[in-house]
Structures are given as C-alpha cells and as structure tokens.
Amino acid sequence: MSDDAVLPNGWQLVVGLEVHVELATKTKMFSASANRFGDEPNTNIDPVTLGLPGALPVLNKHAVELAMRIGLALNCKVQPCTFHRKNYFYPDLPKAYQITQYDHPLNIDGFLMLPGEVRIGIERAHLEEDTGKSTHFGGSSGRIHGSDYSLIDFNRAGVPLVEIVSRPDIRTSEQARQYVAELRAILLAVGASDAKMEEGSMRCDVNVSVHKPGTPFGTRCEIKNVNSIRAVGRAIDYEARRQVDLIEGGGTVRQETRHWDDASGRTETLRTKEDADDYRYFLEPDLVPLVPEQSWIDQVRAALPVLPAARRNALAELCGIDKDGESAFVVVERGQDDYVRQVVGNGGDPRRSVIYVQQAFAEQGATPKVPAKDLAALTILERDAKVTSTQAKTLLADLIEAGGGDVAAIAAKRGFEALDTGALEAMVDTAIAAEPGAWQKYCDGEEKALGALVGAIMKSSKGKADGKAVTAILQSKRQK
C-alpha cells in the first residue's frame, strides 16, 4: 500500500514531532539529587527540587554536554543560549514555573535522514527540566478532575530533558514511526538517554494537520499521551482521518490539544486554544547565559560515536543486506554490528553471520558470549552444506547455551553428518523408484506431490538430508 493512499481525495498529511527525552545524567538539571527512575517516591529531592523558598538553580554541566551531543548528532548548530521561566500553576510543578529555553535554544537548525533519502528538519533541541509525577486516585478518568485525591512524586521534578522539535516535514505515519525509531537509535548511540518510551524517558507530542498540496498548511492539533512507536502511527492515522472527515463534512479543524487513548484508538479534546495558558515567559534571573566555548563543542563533536545510519550502511555493505532493512536496524540498535564484523573477519559467511545474530542474539547485548570464530565456523559448515539449515539452528542454540565451542565436534557428537551429493542422489533415485505414482504426478506439474517424495527421503536419511538440497535434485531431475 502506498503511504499517500492513506488519505482519500488528494489530502496530504503534515506532521511535526516534539520529542522529550530525559537525559542520562547522574544528578538533576539544577541540583545534586539523583536522577534515577523507579526509586521510592520523594527520596531524590532537595530544596531546589521542591522549589523551597530561597533555593536557587545551578546548571548541570553534564546535562549540557549530553544536550550538545544530541544537537551535534542531529546536525544542529550549537549556539550561546539563555533560560526562561514558563509560568503555570500545577501541583507537580514545584516552583510554579518550568525552567526552559525560549528564544535562544542551545541547538538549532539540524536535520535527520530517513530511509529513501527523506530529510526531516530539526528546528531546535533545547534544555529544560522535567516536572514531578502526579497520580490521581478515585474518579474514572485517571485525571485530576473528578479524582478523590492525588499524590505527587517529586523524584522526576528537575530531571534534565531535551525537547527535540522537528519541522513539519513528515508526510506519512510510516515516516513518523521511522523518525521516532531513528531518533531513539541516535539517542542510544550517543549515550544521551535510555530513551524508554514505556518508562516515559522518551515522550512524543505529535502535531497533525492536513491540506491539499499547493495550498497552505491546515490548522494543526497537538496529540499528547502517545507512548509507543506503534501509537505514533496509529494516532496520526486516526487524527488525519478525523480531520479529513471533519473538513469534508463541512466542518473546520479547531486548533487544540488532544489526548490519545491507546485502548480505544481515538483522540479526544484535552483543551482548546482558548483555554491555553499564557505562560508569561521571561528570562530566568537566577541563571546566567550559557555560552559553550568552541573548544568544548569541538571536543564533544570529536567524541561522538559513529551514528546508527553510518553503521547500518557499513554493515549492509559488509554483509550484502538492505541498509534500510530489519536486520541492519536491529543488529545496529543492539550494538552487535562490531561483533558481526568480527565473525566475518574470522571467515564467517557475511549474510549468514548477520542473520544468525539478528535471529538468535536478541538477549546477548553488544558483546555476545559466543566467540566470533565459533559462529564463523558454524556459518561455514552450513554454507558448505556440511550441515542442514535445521541442524545449523540446533548447533547455534548449543553454542549459545555453552557460550561457544568447537562446532564441528558438537555436530559430530549430535551425528550431524551432512550427506554428500552422490549419496543424496542415490537416495532420491531410491525414493522415485519406491513412489512412482508421486513422481509421475510431480512430473505432470502437481507441486503438492513433491512433499511425499521429500518426506520419504528425509525418513530414509533419518533427517540428515538437507530438504533444500533434495528439492533441488528433484527439480533438476524433472527438467531432464
């Protein structure tokens, strides 16, 4: 299905994403309390975190460095910047203002490439602090309105965040999913965040509008509570259809913030533009401008690792696979591309090496226990048809369980001696002689009959015959 076919009558989707990521610092943005998820509520707190009278913020240099890494990885310009106060009342916002960046953010004007050379502009990636976490009890909605009481955990308050704002360059829900996945891969690669959407350390707000190409963009709605990459796609598809249906039904789209309900698969109004807070932004007088020295920027840039896209390209080239395919993405995301390179370096079959790692090493991390040379030996056994692909899978499981080993010896112990071509041909001839009816049907073009022949050969070989090889011999005999 072509992506543009999602919307009827020539409507074009326009999407921009605002992604918040919690930075992987030891301490908070402006205080020495620990930045750690999952601790006992209200234990990682201090006068600054709680906004006690008289407490003052002191900027965490490591947070700035991680934010710079993100900016540089997204091809942004890193510039002198300032902090502002965003004022609003809410119980989990201890100072009643959030310290954020406004007209002079740290990182501006970058981009991120998606498969197919699609370039998504990055408007800005700025630093700010997280709020506490409210939990509302009683009532049906899980929101503060109508609840009996609410509890607040301030452990999250003051955790450093970077908000990455894309330009409205995304045109399909698939691109949006790719964008989030690629962004996440970059964040993990540069070590800026653990980027766990399910724990809230990476959160997406999605701006959706529709228009006809050649006309100005439509009115956009911001969708909140989109907590997985899958939800990003679903929420966009739903919202785009809602807007198109609304317009085609003679209505107009109101600018508003909408809430994504993952269970019902719908968005609903959270607040309209008229209800929006006036945040009364002004320069944060408790902080001074942040002016990163060029030498610092250069140092951070030089220390950046090779980014996922480049690593996928290298892996694809090495192994002869699709650079935008699942294998390359998964293996690089797990950081196992170096390992694949070692396997190939030990003489392993490139394609089999990357596929084995993708399929069997999900739990192994960046440095699998199986020595690269052992995995290489296995790919060669299979490539040279010394074992069947089924047998190879068993041997791979053996290697993983034992943390490596002499594959040839394990194969011999299991009795995995692949039959040579001569022996196989003899067995095929025997089977044809034993099942003349099936052979005739197969020769007449009845493909189903192949199963009976192969089955007979597998049985007589006690499973040592390679099904693929047997099929190939049968096919070539039929053509004669």
Shortest distance, position 290 Cβ to another protein, whole Å? 10
Phi-psi region of 152 (alpha: psi -120 to 50; beta: other; left: phi over 0): beta
Q: Which stretch binds another protein (CB under 8 A): 236-244, 281-289, 310-318, 404-412?
A: 281-289
Residue 300 Cβ vs another protein, minimum distance, rounded to whole Å: 22
Which secondary-structure segment (H or E) carries 376?
helix 372-383
Is 52 a binding residue for another protein by CB under 8 A? The answer is: yes
Report CA Rg, the chain.
Answer: 29
Backbone angles phi, psi at 169, to 5 degrees: -100, -5
Q: Which of 248, 286, 317, 326 is close enough to bind another protein by CB under 8 A?
A: 286
Please identify, using beta-carbon distances, which residue of 122 and 152 lies nearer to another protein: 152
349 burial class (0-12, 13-18, 19+ CB within 10 angstroms)? buried
> What pairing do the DSSP bridges indicate for beta strands 160-166 and 118-129?
antiparallel
Question: Using CB under 8 A, which of the segments 84-92, 249-257, 417-425, 428-436 binds another protein?
Answer: 84-92
285 touches another protein (CB under 8 A): yes
Question: Is residue 422 near another protein by the rule CB under 8 A?
Answer: no
Q: What is the distance between the alpha carbons of residues 356 and 370, in angstroms, rounded to a whole number? A: 12
By CB under 8 A, is residue 280 in contact with another protein?
Answer: yes
CB of 279 to another protein, least distance (A): 8
Which residue type is seen at 37? F
Supply the minimum distance, in Å, between the C-beta of residue 209 and another protein. Answer: 23
Q: Which of the residues 348 through 367 are near another protein (CB under 8 A)?
A: none
Site string for another protein, 31-50 (x = CB under 8 A): ----------------x--x
- Nearest-approach distance from CB 293 to another protein, in angstroms: 15
| Count of residues that bind another protein according to CB under 8 A | 29
Under 8 Å between Cβ of 436 and 414 = no
Provide the Cα torsion 112, 2, 234, 251; round to 10°. 100
> Is there binding between residue 7 and another protein (CB under 8 A)?
no
State which of residues 198, 278, 293, 444 lies at the interface with another protein (CB under 8 A): 278
Is residue 291 a contact residue for another protein (CB under 8 A)? no
Tell me which residue of 301, 306, 326, 303 sits closest to 316, measured CA to CA.
326
**Looking at 4, 58, 273, 430, which residue binds another protein (CB under 8 A)?**
58
In sequence order, what are the beta bridge partners of 282? 85
Compute the distance between CA of residue 370 and CA of residue 351 in angstroms, rounded to an integer.
18
- Stretch 125-164: interaction string toward another protein, x if CB under 8 A: -------------------x-------x------------
With CB under 8 A as the contact rule, the residue among 15, 25, 28, 57 that binds another protein is 57
Classify 464 in phi/psi space as left (phi over 0), alpha (psi -120 to 50) or beta.
alpha
Using the rule CB under 8 A, which residue among 51, 404, 455, 467 binds another protein?
Answer: 51
Contact flag: residue 85 with another protein (CB under 8 A): yes
Q: Cβ(336)–Cβ(361) under 8 Å?
A: yes
Q: Which residues pair with 272 in a beta bridge?
A: 256
Q: How far apart are CA 315 and CA 355, in angstroms?
A: 12
Residues that bind another protein (CB under 8 A): 47, 50-59, 85, 87, 89, 91, 94-97, 144, 152, 278, 280-282, 285-288
